[in-house]
């Protein structure tokens, strides 16, 4: 079975500071990992994914994520937060042989204050 | 424009009154899925479909039905809604994973359902 944990319900950061949103996963095989963002009253939007290769993945809006196999983590990062980054962020995982079956974490609300 | 369209976006109904939430995608995706989003619980999968006439249960299928008669449409049916089905519902679609396709999901804008 595959699962995802996002240990923080909310992350607060000041504008201009670096941000990290944490995600850990559990799969029995190799993982495909995804980050999605949800702005108020909108659907989820794809941010980035890790499939294979370089452990540092770059995505939309200046976000990046680091895959760490030994720690089974896929933390989302951004060097300098913007107020407009405030949103709900979801980490998702699926095993490489699990078809399209994505499992989502509970979500982390990011609040960036001016 | 590539999109997943859900209707209605907002609905208030009463217990027991059958309703259907429609979902349509224009990307020729094989895979479609319904999720519900509840505070503190993230997204939970209700049903999914790998292709026309192929559907299967997700994690929380009780009280819901789906059908996939056409590739583009995947309606969610609540035969006898109850208050515990008050939630925010999302439809999503993707190409079938495999080869160079890694199955990123495209989401609709959501349908907020309140059952009184």
Q: Measured in Å, how far apart are chain B's first and last C-alpha atoms?
A: 36
Q: How many CB pairs under 8 A join A and B?
A: 60
CA nearest to B103 within chain A: A100
Report pLDDT for B71.
95
CA nearest to B104 within chain A: A46
Report pLDDT for A98.
67
CA distance readout (Å), B63 to A104, B10, B13, B18: 22, 19, 15, 11
Q: Does A75 touch chain B (CB under 8 A)?
A: no
Q: Name the one residue in this structure whose structure tokens are 């559907």.
A: B55
Position A36 pLDDT exceeds 80: yes
Query: Which residues of chain B does A99 touch, with a Cβ-Cβ cutoff of 8 Å?
Result: 31, 50, 96-97, 103
Position A33 pLDDT exceeds 90: yes
pLDDT in tens, A97-109: 766 778 899 999 9
User: What is the three-state SS of chain B?
Assistant: CCCEEEECCEEEECCCCCEEEEEEECCCCCEEEEEEEECCCEEEEEEEEEECCEEEECCCCCCCEECCCCCCECCEEECCCCHHHCEEEEEEEECCCECCECCCCEECCCEEEEEC
Report pLDDT for A42.
87
Q: Name the one residue in this structure whose structure tokens are 């583009």.
A: B72
Report pLDDT for B78.
97
pLDDT in 10s for each residue of chain B, 116 residues: 889 999 999 999 999 999 999 999 999 999 999 999 998 888 999 999 999 999 999 989 999 999 999 999 999 999 999 999 999 999 999 987 665 566 788 999 999 999 99
Query: Which residues of chain B does A104 touch, with a Cβ-Cβ cutoff of 8 Å?
Result: 35, 42-44
CA nearest to A48 within chain B: B104
Cβ-Cβ contacts under 8 Å for B28 (sequence gap 6 or more): B71, B72
Query: Which residues of chain A does B105 touch, with a Cβ-Cβ cutoff of 8 Å?
Result: 36, 44, 46, 100, 102
Q: Classify strands A108-113 and A10-14 as parallel, antiparallel or unpaired.
A: parallel
Report pLDDT for B40.
80
Cβ-Cβ contacts under 8 Å for B63 (sequence gap 6 or more): B78, B79, B80, B81, B82, B85
Report pLDDT for A94.
86
Report pLDDT for A83.
96
Report pLDDT for B100.
59
Report pLDDT for B21.
98
Report pLDDT for B80.
96
Query: Which segment of A21-25, A70-74, B92-96 scores lowest on mean pLDDT?
Result: B92-96
Q: Name the one residue in this structure whose structure tokens are 């009154």.
A: B17
Q: Does B103 touch chain A (CB under 8 A)?
A: yes
């Amino acid at each position: 079975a595959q699962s995802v944990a996002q240990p923080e319900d909310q992350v607060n950061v000041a504008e201009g500071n670096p941000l990290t949103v944490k995600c850990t996963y559990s799969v029995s095989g190799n993982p495909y990992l995804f980050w999605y963002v949800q702005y108020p009253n909108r659907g989820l939007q794809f941010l980035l994914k890790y499939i294979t290769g370089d452990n540092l993945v770059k995505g939309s809006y200046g976000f990046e994520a680091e895959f760490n196999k030994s720690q089974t983590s896929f933390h989302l990062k951004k060097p300098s937060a913007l107020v407009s980054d405030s949103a709900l962020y979801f980490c998702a995982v699926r095993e490489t042989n699990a078809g399209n079956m994505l499992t989502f974490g509970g979500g982390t609300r990011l609040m960036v204050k001016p | 424009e590539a999109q997943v369209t859900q209707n209605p976006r907002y609905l208030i109904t009463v217990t027991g009154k059958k309703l259907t939430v429609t979902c349509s995608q224009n990307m020729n995706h094989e895979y479609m899925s319904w999720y519900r989003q509840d505070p503190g619980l993230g997204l939970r999968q209700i049903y999914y479909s790998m292709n026309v006439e192929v559907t299967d249960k997700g994690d929380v299928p009780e009280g819901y039905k789906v059908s996939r008669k056409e590739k583009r449409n995947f309606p969610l049916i609540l035969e006898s809604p109850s208050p515990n089905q008050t939630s925010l519902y999302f439809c999503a679609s993707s190409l079938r994973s495999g080869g160079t396709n890694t199955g990123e999901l495209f989401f609709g804008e959501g349908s907020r359902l309140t059952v009184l």
